[in-house]
């Protein structure tokens, strides 16, 4: 596979940060746990892992970990639901046994380990992997935005896939992008890692889930949007921040913003302004407002001058014209 071979060459740039993990099993486990997860390990043969090495690259808050043990090993990760592990098998063979089911990843394949509960891994001596941990909270948030429903406890992702097929090759391209990111935009705190993690999550949901698609069932807005809009309508006259809306909707501000842009085409605060403008127009049209300034203030617009321009841009006429029409009728 030409793309995998070129990717392996590009991965050599990670070697400047390579760490030799030692020959003591306990020391190796401790070093790997610092980048991935606590686990127990034992040698499957009599040879010591003299070539055990790990390279780690951080892009924002996302990690790329290149790992090889250099010996046949068996691994028992400690149970954890914090991360999902996306693994690219660069060479050799990985076997993952879980609840009586054996999943095999050979060179040129990818593996998705949803959670580290009751897994038994076996790696060949020539096995080398690139591993990307993805927070399960990121996956769950993406599912919530896509479907409008709470994420299930089990995602049901494909346990293995071919890096030569479109869905696998696209993941390889994303990993290559992270690898080649200029240091200036890949530093800690950069949004690139967050954006890449969100893209990874959405790709896994839409392209690597077997039976039972997690795509939206309908065009109906998800419940965080509905709850936020209900709160807006009931409290439009009050000062409202994005944090207020997110807290009431029960999601993070970023999740709420993503949901609004997907299902409403605007940000939550832009939607709040639309609802306030609609309230002003209603009060001007039905005669319940005495003046434009009164209607604007009652709908949560403190500055009448700026409000008039916003109103005209939205409705194509000034609020004074709307009020005059109501009085004429």
Contact 93, 223 (CB under 8 A): no
Tokens of residue 106, six digits: 């050979």
Summarize pLDDT for 151-190 with one digit per residue, the tens: 777 888 989 999 999 989 999 999 998 888 877 666 666 6
3-state secondary structure 310-321: HHHHHHCCCHHH
d(CA 242, CA 6): 45
Does pTM surpass 0.75?
no
Tell me the average pLDDT of the chain. 85
Q: Residue 212: pLDDT band by 50, 70, 90 thresholds?
A: very low
pLDDT value at residue 145: 75
In percent, the amount of the chain with pLDDT more than 70 equals 90
- Mean pLDDT to the nearest integer, 71-82: 89
Q: Residue 217: pLDDT band by 50, 70, 90 thresholds?
A: very low
Summarize pLDDT for 304-324 with one digit per residue, the tens: 668 888 888 888 888 888 888
pLDDT value at residue 144: 76
Summarize pLDDT for 114-135 with one digit per residue, the tens: 888 889 999 999 999 999 999 9
Question: Is it the case that residue 213 has pLDDT exceeding 50?
Answer: no
Residue 220's CB is within 10 A of a number of other CB atoms, namely 11
Write out the DSSP string of 229-292: HHHHHHHTTS---HHHHHHHHTS-HHHHHHHHHHHTSS-HHHHHHHHHHHHHHHHHHTT--SSH
pLDDT value at residue 92: 96
- Mean pLDDT to the nearest integer, 86-113: 94
Structural domains of the chain sorted by starting position, each given as residue range(s) with its CATH number in brackets: 2-207 (2.60.120.10), 223-328 (1.10.10.60)
């Amino acid at each position: 596979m030409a793309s995998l071979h070129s990717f392996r060459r590009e991965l050599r740039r990670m070697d400047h940060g390579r760490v030799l993990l030692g020959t003591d099993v306990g020391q190796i486990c401790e070093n790997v746990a610092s980048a991935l997860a606590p686990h127990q390990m034992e040698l499957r043969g009599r040879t010591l892992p003299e070539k055990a090495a790990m390279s780690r690259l951080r892009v924002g808050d996302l990690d790329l970990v290149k790992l090889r043990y250099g010996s046949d090993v068996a691994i028992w990760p400690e149970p954890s639901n914090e991360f999902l592990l996306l693994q690219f098998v660069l060479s050799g063979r990985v076997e993952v046994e879980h609840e009586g089911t054996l999943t095999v990843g050979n060179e040129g394949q990818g593996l998705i380990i949803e959670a580290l509960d009751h897994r038994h891994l076996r790696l060949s001596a020539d096995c080398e992997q690139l591993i990307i941990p993805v927070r399960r909270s990121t996956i769950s948030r993406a599912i919530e935005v896509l479907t409008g429903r709470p994420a299930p406890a089990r995602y049901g992702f494909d346990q293995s896939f071919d890096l030569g097929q479109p869905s696998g090759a696209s993941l390889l391209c994303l990993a290559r992008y992270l690898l080649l990111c200029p240091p200036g935009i890949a530093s800690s705190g950069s949004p690139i890692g967050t954006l890449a993690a969100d893209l990874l999550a959405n790709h896994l949901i839409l392209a690597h889930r077997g039976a039972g698609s997690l795509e939206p069932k309908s065009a109906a807005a998800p419940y965080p949007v509905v709850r936020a809009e209900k709160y807006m309508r009931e409290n439009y006259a009050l000062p409202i921040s994005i944090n207020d809306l997110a807290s009431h909707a029960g999601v993070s501000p970023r999740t709420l913003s993503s949901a609004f842009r997907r299902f409403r085409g605007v940000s939550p605060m832009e939607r709040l302004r639309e609802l306030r403008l609609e309230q002003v127009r209603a009060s001007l049209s039905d005669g319940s407002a005495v003046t434009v300034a009164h209607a604007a203030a009652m709908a949560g617009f403190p500055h009448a001058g700026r409000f008039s321009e916003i109103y005209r841009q939205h409705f194509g006429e000034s609020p004074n014209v709307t009020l005059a029409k109501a009085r004429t009728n």
